[in-house]
Amino acid sequence: MLIGIDDTDSPKGMCTTYLGAVLARRLIQNHMRVREARLVRLNPNVTFKTRGNAAIALDVEGDPEQAFSLACDIVEELSDFSCENTNPGVVVTEKRLDPAFYRQAVTDFCEIDEAVNILDRAGARYKGWKNRRGLIGATAAVASAFPDTTYEILTYRESSRWGTKREVDRESLFTSEEATYPHTWDTVDFTNQVVVCVPHTPDPVLFGIRGESPSWIMMARSAIASEKPALEQIWVTNQGTDAHLLPGTCGSLCEGLSYCVQGIVTASPKTTIGGHVSFSIRDGPAETRCMAYEPTKNFRNIVRGLVPGDRIMVVGSYKKESINLEKICLVSPAQDIHVKAPVCAACSRRMTSAGKDKGFKCRTCGARSKDAEVTEIPRTLSAGWYEVPPTARRHLAKPLCRGGPAIP
């Protein structure tokens, strides 16, 4: 059977993955076998999410009725029901569900009734609390099929420590990442000298290590010195796989969906108030604005290196009429040509325009010239992919160290 759970946490605490890790242990204590634990990230633009829009699924051998009852008990015991936005859902299905619902939940938006219809048709056991929105994530988790897979080991704190400062040795995190990158990623951000894998929220997570295989994440984990965790769980995940991306074209993008879009840069990128960088791309008559926000740090310097005429591919979520960049590919760099009025050969002063199609005129000595001064500025960017740093990376975004982006 597959057990799906979602929407048990609030900004004040708890984490659905912690609840899943505790449930896995209770199922084992009750003589069931847990074959796989899945951490399933869904559409990152869903507004109801607490943090990273995660749901979980456990693949279990045992008695479905007993498993359902244990799952419901643990949700009632651990969920933060006081928060208006916590609306848990539990699903137990003995039949595989159509992965189309997972695809919809990771790339688009779903309704509670759509999830309930699928569950009814499959004869699944399910329970939703309060407005039952958690049934969407729980159903998507049990319906999930990953064309690409990564792993994360999450360590969880003793409950007496929840809400207190996490004790994780900073140096050991950098050493760990040095030893295992690129087979692990996002433990730390070397360029910005920031720890990425330790949260700052009051939930049970101590730290999480992401990587290509259980052995690589275990090797990285063993190098980390910290307070003693209460629990550790290896999750199979769709993180770092670009599962959220759809192919898109300028002028036909939908709010809250994530795309890969091609176009030509229309004008030099501009830095706006707050340090955000913006520019537009054009595809035929349609234009789309692209944004590299301040938290994307050094990535903004890459974006500032684009010039009009560059053919690029941009990847990110379409929100408030712009694409929030996760990565870009400079497909075909344009020449960076600057055209100015020439310098007067007679008096060495810069000439000025003599009017449309009339060439240039020296305002000092009256000399005339037909030709402008054309300079080609060497490009700072070469063709290829560029991405935001680990500190700004979304859970689903595929890091370039994993190879070429998964472009749909």
Q: Does residue number 317 form part of the binding site for ligand ATP (CB under 6 A)?
A: no
49 within 8 A of 133, measured Cβ to Cβ = no
Nearer to ligand ATP, 162 or 385 (CB): 162
State the minimum distance, in angstroms, from the CB of residue 397 to ligand ATP.
16
Nearer to ligand ATP, 16 or 150 (CB): 16
Stretch that binds ligand ATP, among 4-12, 22-30, 218-226, 284-292 (CB under 6 A): 4-12
d(Cα 43, Cα 21) in Å, to the nearest integer? 23
384 within 8 A of 329, measured Cβ to Cβ = yes
State the minimum distance, in angstroms, from the CB of residue 291 to ligand ATP.
22
Instruction: Count CB atoms within 10 A of the CB of residue 343.
Output: 15
State the minimum distance, in angstroms, from the CB of residue 16 to ligand ATP.
4
- Would you state the structure tokens that stand for residue 268, as one six-digit string? 């030099």
Residue whose C-beta lies closest to ligand ATP: 137
State the minimum distance, in angstroms, from the CB of residue 207 to ligand ATP.
15
State the minimum distance, in angstroms, from the CB of residue 198 to ligand ATP.
15
d(Cα 389, Cα 393) in Å, to the nearest integer? 6
Stretch that binds ligand ATP, among 1-9, 146-154, 264-272, 280-288 (CB under 6 A): 1-9
DSSP state of 99: T
Count, residues near ligand ATP per rule CB under 6 A: 23
Q: Is 59 helix (H, G, I), strand (E, B) or coil?
A: strand
Q: Does residue number 15 form part of the binding site for ligand ATP (CB under 6 A)?
A: yes
Stretch that binds ligand ATP, among 5-13, 150-158, 175-183, 230-238 (CB under 6 A): 5-13
d(Cα 318, Cα 324) in Å, to the nearest integer? 6
118 to 157: interface string for ligand ATP, x by CB under 6 A: ---------------xx-xx--------------------
State the minimum distance, in angstroms, from the CB of residue 33 to ligand ATP.
25
Residue owning tokens 């069931």: 32
State the minimum distance, in angstroms, from the CB of residue 43 to ligand ATP.
4
Instruction: Count CB atoms within 10 A of the CB of residue 47.
Output: 8
Q: Is 168 helix (H, G, I), strand (E, B) or coil?
A: strand
Residue owning tokens 């290896």: 234
Nearer to ligand ATP, 57 or 328 (CB): 57
Stretch that binds ligand ATP, among 3-11, 184-192, 241-249, 300-308 (CB under 6 A): 3-11
d(Cα 204, Cα 156) in Å, to the nearest integer? 5
Considering only residues 66 through 125, tell me which ones interact with ligand ATP, judged by CB under 6 A. 87, 105, 109-110
Give the C-alpha distances (Å, rounded to integers) separating 136 from 38, 106, 245: 16, 11, 19
State the minimum distance, in angstroms, from the CB of residue 108 to ligand ATP.
6
State the minimum distance, in angstroms, from the CB of residue 140 to ligand ATP.
6
C-alpha atoms less than 13 angstroms from C-alpha of 313 in its C-beta half-sphere: 20
Give the C-alpha distances (Å, rounded to integers) separating 43 from 199, 314, 363: 21, 18, 61
d(Cα 349, Cα 367) in Å, to the nearest integer? 10
Angle CA 145–93–86, to nearest 5: 85
Considering only residues 33 through 72, tell me which ones interact with ligand ATP, judged by CB under 6 A. 42-43, 46, 48-54
Q: Which residues bind ligand ATP (CB under 6 A)?
A: 6-7, 9, 15-16, 42-43, 46, 48-54, 87, 105, 109-110, 133-134, 136-137
